[in-house]
Amino acid sequence: MEVGQHFYWKIGGFQVHAQVIITSWVVIAILLGSAIIAVRNPQTIPTDSQNFFEYVLEFIRDVSKTQIGEEYGPWVPFIGTLFLFIFVSNWSGALLPWKIIQLPHGELAAPTNDINTTVALALLTSVAYFYAGLSKKGLGYFGKYIQPTPILLPINILEDFTKPLSLSFRLFGNILADELVVLVLVSLVPSVVPIPVMLLGLFTSGIQALIFATLAAAYIGESMEGHH
């Protein structure tokens, strides 16, 4: 694993991490392909694949409804996108043979293995958080910062800034740590021994996607309710 090394592209005067762009495109292609398959030919009596996609949708709706409340409907696509992108990204890092593709610098890995990706997802959540509060309460939303007393204004503001940081570092740290543990085990012991750890990594990767989506929905629900 090449930590800290990146393959750069220049786009519009900006330097971007090319390996993250490439793997993100692959993840997006997988999601779009799955969506096309899901809606291509719906049946009155669902097939196995249709049942699977409906179960995933129902699961995302339940997470959104539990955390946001009765006004969860408009937020299902956002929460679902976060969950599915992180889930597929994490699993792609564990299951797809990225290492066989050689780059001039760095290596291909899960998009969520890059701090820039997790920060971007956290900032999207933060924007959604403020949008939900402002669309529900208007400028009166900012009144929450001086409740229950104006003395807590700096702490309340700091809390809102730490939410995206917490989401980002939690996701990035867990994914990176999992990959490092597997790589260390592979280098120290025969190949068959790390397999249970890799399977555990798949499970924890799914849990991390669920935690991120659940916390994002909880933050949005909190901003719409107007209390902590």
pLDDT in tens, 85-142: 999 988 887 777 767 777 776 677 788 888 888 888 888 888 888 898 888 888 887 7
Give CA–CA dist 180/169, Å, rounded. Answer: 16
Give CA–CA dist 213/221, Å, rounded. Answer: 12
Indicate the DSSP class of residue 151: G
pLDDT (average), residues 13-41: 85
Give CA–CA dist 126/121, Å, rounded. Answer: 9
Residues 6 or more apart in contact with residue 188 via CB below 8 angstroms? none
Domain that holds residue 214: 49-226
In a domain, 41, yes or no: no
In a domain, 75, yes or no: yes
In a domain, 18, yes or no: no
Give CA–CA dist 207/170, Å, rounded. Answer: 12
| Residue in this structure with the two tokens 């249970």, named with its chain if needed | 196
In a domain, 29, yes or no: no
Structural tokens at position 24: 């993100």
Give CA–CA dist 188/7, Å, rounded. Answer: 28
User: Are 199 and 185 a contacting pair, CB within 8 Å?
Assistant: no
Q: Enter the pTM of the model.
A: 0.81
Q: In the chain, how many domains are there?
A: 1
Q: Tell me the angle at which helices 195-225 and 76-95 cross, rounded to the nearest 10 degrees.
A: 160
Could you write out the DSSP letters of every residue in 166-210?
HHHHHHHHHHHHHHHHHHHHHHHS-TTTTHHHHHHHHHHHHHHHH
Q: Kindly report, residue by residue over 179-213, the tens digit of the pLDDT.
A: 666 666 666 666 555 566 667 767 778 888 888 89
pLDDT (average), residues 174-180: 67
In a domain, 162, yes or no: yes
